[in-house]
Structure 1
Amino acid sequence: MPSLVEPKLISGNANKSLATAIARRISMHRGMNINLINTRVERFNDAEIFVEVYENVRGEDMFIIQPTSNPANDNLMELMIMADALKRSSAGRITAVIPYFGYARQDRRTKARTPISAKLVANLLEEAGIERVLTMDLHAAQIQGFFDVPVDNLYASPVFALDIKHQFEGGLDDVMIVSPDVGGVARARELAQRIGCPLSIVDKRREKPGEVAEMTVIGDVSGKKCIIVDDLCDTAGTLCKAAGVLMDAGATEVHSYITHGVLSGPAVERITKSVMKSLVITDTIEPTAEVKAAPNIRIVPTAPIFAQAILNIWSGTSVSSLFETGTLGPIYEGLYPQD
């Protein structure tokens, strides 16, 4: 019988480097070598996905690390097939660690005869055998209610707060947190409160999806170093336009902190050519070579917070404790030394 003394990690192909980094962090915490379960995840010639687990997982507490980022459908199918393989191998509990939850933008019906795809994905994951979900910065918090199993939604803002305090040390009086739209005010306000900075809003009006017609800055940003905060950046058109509007309104610098760097299509080129001094993203989505090479894009690791969250779930302790800077600070001690 398995010893059941350690969490067991398994990864698909969506973000192997993050999964490996999480395993490394857990190994450091536990004082022993914890590797990803030896698994084969491959595609047949007709693109069907096949999974084979080479180790005994009977009765084990399993954590599948797999963001459902581009290609979203392939990565989602990998996740579900891995869950099915583990369920049929008598795993004790299956937790899906989904750093970036794809389809989260389809969380409600915006028009007649349209789907609520996020709810459909929740149903599929549960049917595949997933008994718990761990994710980060869901696009819409109500998606947690789409599941009938526990959902732990981590927040990037405590990590961003540590990074901002480190990067703008001694100059926080000049920093202004900016929400790129009215819908993101709660997220931006929460970060502003953490670092003790004022809040401004860029109000945008869309003519059609993906195209912004007009932007207005609400608040005085003149002479301020503006930090735009959002949960995801796709083609970066809105983000770059907002940065330009803030500079026109008198900002001295514009930086952006975005949790999920989707960065599709012309995004990287737009960001490189924009007035933004820096864009900070996390590694919830595996960055491409183009993203890594961009001079004004910086990547903050999420492995420390995900590793600790996995250990807390495995040991039955609080995950919400990771929302506090006092708890999170020591986890990121190597990156951001504490006073």
Structure 2
Amino acid sequence: MRRVKIFSGTSHPGLTEAICERLGTTLGKCDLKKFSNGETSVDIGCSIRDQDVFIVQSGSAKANDSIMELLILISACKGGSANKITAVMPYFPYSKQSKKKSHRGAITARMLANLLTVAGVDHVITVDLHASQMQGFFTKPVDNLYAEPLLARWIRHTVPNWRDSVVVSKNPGGTKRVTQLADVLKLNFALITTDRRRKEDADQIPGNEKMITLVGEVRRKTVLIVDDMIDRAGSWISAAEHVKLRGGAKKVICIATHGVFGGNCLKEMEDCSCIDQIVVTNSFPIPEDKRKGVKKLVTIDLSQLLSEAIRRNHHGKFIPHYLVE
């Protein structure tokens, strides 16, 4: 593509290279380094005057460093007279903090949206925001892409007898996401409600949840437990154990867009005998040390979805309704 420059932050260079390969372009030269005191330094190594600039920087295990790096990159491109600056953020950091959880809590996702705007961003492309209303935090256009078509295609091509499967939400908040996928695949869906143990419980086990209700029939069926991200293992393991041991499901596949896998989450899910497969996209970089020895993990590539969004954005074409909300 002409008059386009694509830059990568340090959070997910592999995904950026895959996007560039699909677009038939090369990665823009950019020197990212840290000073001895921990400060981030950015030096754009090519002309970006009157160019459409796309900066690919996802959330990562070092979320704060990734954010600061992105903000400085945006500011540097703004100072370099770029025509338009688009932040491509496959996983939007702090997306779980999109509302107040206490009287004196902060809405951190809104603050990050404000920071991006002040830095000089003109457009944001992201994938499966934790809460779709977060788009209202921005004063600039936001394309919230859906990974649903990619997940549906994987299910159709990979899951044996997928038409006999049931899509399950492990909490009431994820019902809309689950029903949308179930409608696309023309499958039945079910819902699990959980009773989270209070902090004052003396016998509390960290991350443990007590299952109280399964609404729907899963006996002798393949269960697809779906949510937007996998961060902690507790609720996923509880849901898998409930549908398999009590519900009589024959197979359980955990599916999410963002594989954050905090702490020992991935290992705990790998060790769970009730979980047969773990399916995520590559929106969030998973370190090799966490992947080591994990056989259940399947990663779906997002580069096709993101490269198509970038191409259409640059040429001023509409993005199909089934890809964006």
CA shift, 1:292, in A, is: 5.8
CA shift, 1:94, in A, is: 0.3
Match of 1:176 among 166, 172, 190: 166
Q: Name the amino acid aligned to 2:260.
A: V
Provide the residue aligned with 2:255 in structure 1.
257
Provide the residue aligned with 2:179 in structure 1.
189
Question: Does 2:288 match 1:298?
Answer: no
Provide the residue aligned with 2:17 in structure 1.
20
Provide the residue aligned with 2:229 in structure 1.
232
| Aligned equivalents of 2:258, 2:317: Cα separation in 1 | 27
1:215·1:242 contact (CA, 8 Å) conserved in 2? no
Question: Does 2:67 match 1:76?
Answer: yes
After superposition, give the CA deviation of every residue in 1:56-99 in whole Å (9 maximum; x if it has no partner).
Answer: 00110000000122211000000000000000111110000000
Q: Helix, strand or coil for the counterpart of 1:40? A: strand
2:210·2:238 contact (CA, 8 Å) conserved in 1? no
| Aligned equivalents of 1:276, 1:259: Cα separation in 2 | 17
Provide the residue aligned with 1:284 in structure 2.
283
1:174·1:223 contact (CA, 8 Å) conserved in 2? no
Q: Helix, strand or coil for the counterpart of 1:177? A: strand
What are the within-5 Å matches in structure 2 for residues 129-278 of structure 1?
A: 129-168=120-159, 171-208=161-198, 210-248=207-245, 249-274=247-272, 275-278=274-277
Q: Helix, strand or coil for the counterpart of 2:64? A: helix
After superposition, give the CA deviation of every residue in 1:103-152 in whole Å (9 maximum; x if it has no partner).
Answer: 01111112200000010000000000001000000000010000000000
Provide the residue aligned with 1:333 in structure 2.
none
Q: Helix, strand or coil for the counterpart of 2:130? A: coil
RMSD across aligned positions (CA) = 1.5
- Greater shift, 209-218 or 310-319, is seen at 209-218
Q: Name the amino acid aligned to 1:206.
A: R
Q: How many pairs align?
A: 314
Q: Helix, strand or coil for the counterpart of 2:33? A: strand
- With structure 1 as the length reference, what TM-score do the two structures score? 0.90
- Greater shift, 5-14 or 99-108, is seen at 5-14
After superposition, give the CA deviation of every residue in 1:280-324 in whole Å (9 maximum; x if it has no partner).
Answer: 010001122122641000100000000000001011111234529
1:233·1:258 contact (CA, 8 Å) conserved in 2? yes
| Aligned equivalents of 1:211, 1:80: Cα separation in 2 | 37
Q: Which runs of 5+ in 2 are unaligned?
A: 200-206
| Aligned equivalents of 2:73, 2:163: Cα separation in 1 | 49
| Aligned equivalents of 1:237, 1:16: Cα separation in 2 | 30
Calculate percent identity across the aligned residue pairs: 33
Q: Name the amino acid aligned to 2:216.
A: G
Q: Helix, strand or coil for the counterpart of 1:245? A: helix
Q: Provide runs of 4+ in structure 1 moved above 2 Å.
A: 4-7, 207-216, 290-293, 320-324
Q: Name the amino acid aligned to 2:135.
A: Q
